[in-house]
Amino acid sequence: MMNRNIPLDELILQVEQMSDSFHVVESAAFRLSHVAAALTCLQDALFYVRMYKCADTTGEGEKRRQELIDDSESVIGLIRTGGLYP
């Protein structure tokens, strides 16, 4: 059960080390590398979203924007560090 919660970087390294003898594992390592790159892009986008000042005078747009930021940060953290399983 603990192996389900290892950080993404460690999982990528372990899968790459096993890939010499397993073609499917090699493909998984390649895909996981893409996931890590996508998370980096998402983090960069969140930086710019935080910098953007909402012109919504009701405050609803700002509230929704903050919810999206919080949700995105939670997902990034779960994927990068593990912790999806108790």
**pLDDT for 32-77, tens place per residue?**
888 888 888 888 888 877 777 666 677 787 888 888 888 888 888 8
Place of tokens 């909402």: 54
Predicted pLDDT of residue 82: 73
How many structural domains compose the chain? 1
Cα gap 60→65, rounded to integer Å = 8
Q: Which helix (H) or strand (E) holds 18?
A: helix 8-18
Question: The whole model's pTM is what?
Answer: 0.58
Predicted pLDDT of residue 20: 65
Neighbours of 82 (CB within 10 A): 17
Identify the DSSP state of 58.
S
Average pLDDT over residues 14-42: 79
* 86 assigned to some structural domain: no
Average pLDDT over residues 22-30: 75
| Token pair in block for residue 23 | 């073609």
Range of the domain at 52: 2-81
